[in-house]
Amino acid sequence: MRLGILGATGWLGGALAARLVAGGWPEARLVLANRSGPRGFPLAEWTDAAAVARADVVVVAVRPEDFPTPGFAPDGLVISFATVWTLDKLRALAPRARIVRAMPNSGAPQGASYTPWVGDVGPGDAELVMKLLSAMGEVVRLTSEDQLDYMAALPGSGMAYPALMAQAMLTHARAFGLPEAVAQRAVQAVVVQAASGLLGRMGDLDAVLDLYRGYRGVTAAGIAAAAPGMAQAMSAALEAAHAKAVDLGR
Ligand SMILES: NC(=O)c1ccc[n+]([C@@H]2O[C@H](COP(=O)([O-])OP(=O)(O)OC[C@H]3O[C@@H](n4cnc5c(N)ncnc54)[C@H](OP(=O)(O)O)[C@@H]3O)[C@@H](O)[C@H]2O)c1
């Protein structure tokens, strides 16, 4: 079986190729295309987009505005990462193909993606999709495309919201007068390092916050001040992002 990747040097296409090869997928069974010319994977076949689309399995990892790529007429399994391109639009474009949509996130190069996917395919295709996507991390099959749009807004955002929180903290710490290096290091300690302690604990968030509140001290005062605004900000962000994902698909 040959796996074609349209957008093989992009964030996600490149991550998928690298993680598959690192996990034992024979490089010679990759068929790759990008715009700027071959980069890496010397044993793979670098070719044009139309030839990639004829592979047994085709991954669409180009930006929505660069799709459809010239000569896109697959008749095998297609796994599309492209937002905007709904299952209906993809089916209209490639009526002979079996099509799924997947939404990896920016943790893919580290094997830390949480990748939802959706598509009306049989058990054999589903198993193959799970196997291929799991090279980038954990995979979950969803039951509706609307759930996928929501996932585009949530895990699809990758490190964007933590980055926004870090930026807000950094702005405040700078205004307070902390030296730049100290401010940066302090924010990293919270947003990246301490937050890793939450891994696997999403069911315990009340208990985690209650633990901090229980000290009735510095952090408890901060939580009380931030909680209402934080809930409102995240709700507004996810509403807007989900609405955008739905709107883009129209
Ligand atoms: N990044 C994310 O976290 C994320 C999350 C969810 C969904 N997505 C979706 O996933 C898709 C890929 O995103 P990305 O961030 O990986 O994009 P990216 O880093 O911008 O990579 C795009 C790739 O497409 C290639 N390309 C562009 N036009 C092409 C053409 N006509 N033929 C062949 N290759 C072409 C580019 O080639 P060159 O390198 O030569 O320019 C590059 O390799 C997008 O549709 C995006 O909406 C991304």
249 pLDDT exceeds 90? no
- Do 145 and 90 have their domain in common? yes
Q: How many other CB atoms are found less than 10 A from the CB of residue 163? A: 12
Read off the amino acid at residue 218. Answer: V
- Do 241 and 209 have their domain in common? yes
Point out the ligand 1 atom lying closest to the alpha carbon of residue 152: 6
- Do 127 and 78 have their domain in common? yes
Query: In the predicted model, what is the mean pLDDT of residues 1-19?
Result: 97
Q: Please, what is the angle between helix 205-214 and helix 218-249, to 10°?
A: 150
pLDDT tens per residue, range 201-224 = 999 999 999 999 999 999 999 999
- Do 90 and 165 have their domain in common? no
Point out the ligand 1 atom lying closest to the alpha carbon of residue 66: 28
**Count of domains forming the chain:** 2
Last residue of a domain, one of 88, 122, 157: 157
- Distance between CA atoms of residues 100 and 169, nearest Å: 39
- Do 149 and 85 have their domain in common? yes
> CB of 10 closer than 6 A to ligand 1?
yes
- Order of strands, edge to edge, in the sheet holding 137-141? 45-46, 30-33, 3-6, 57-60, 77-80, 98-102, 113-118, 137-141
Last residue of a domain, one of 107, 137, 157: 157
Point out the ligand 1 atom lying closest to the alpha carbon of residue 52: 33
Q: Please, what is the angle between helix 145-153 and helix 218-249, to 10°?
A: 130
Ligand 1 mean position to 202 CA, how many Å? 31
Helix ranges (DSSP H) in 137-217? 145-153, 160-176, 180-188, 205-214
119 pLDDT exceeds 90? yes
117 pLDDT exceeds 90? yes
Ligand 1 mean position to 8 CA, how many Å? 8
- Do 101 and 78 have their domain in common? yes
Ligand 1 mean position to 62 CA, how many Å? 3
pLDDT tens per residue, range 92-109 = 999 999 999 999 998 999
List the beta strands (DSSP E) in the chain: 3-6, 30-33, 45-46, 57-60, 77-80, 98-102, 113-118, 137-141
DSSP string, 175-186: HHT--HHHHHHH
Alpha carbons within 13 angstroms on the beta-carbon side of residue 142 total: 18
- Do 241 and 144 have their domain in common? no
- Do 86 and 209 have their domain in common? no
- Do 222 and 114 have their domain in common? no
Q: Among residues 119, 248, 121, 225, which one has the least CA distance to residue 172?
A: 225
Which domain covers residue 210, as residue numbers?
Answer: 160-249
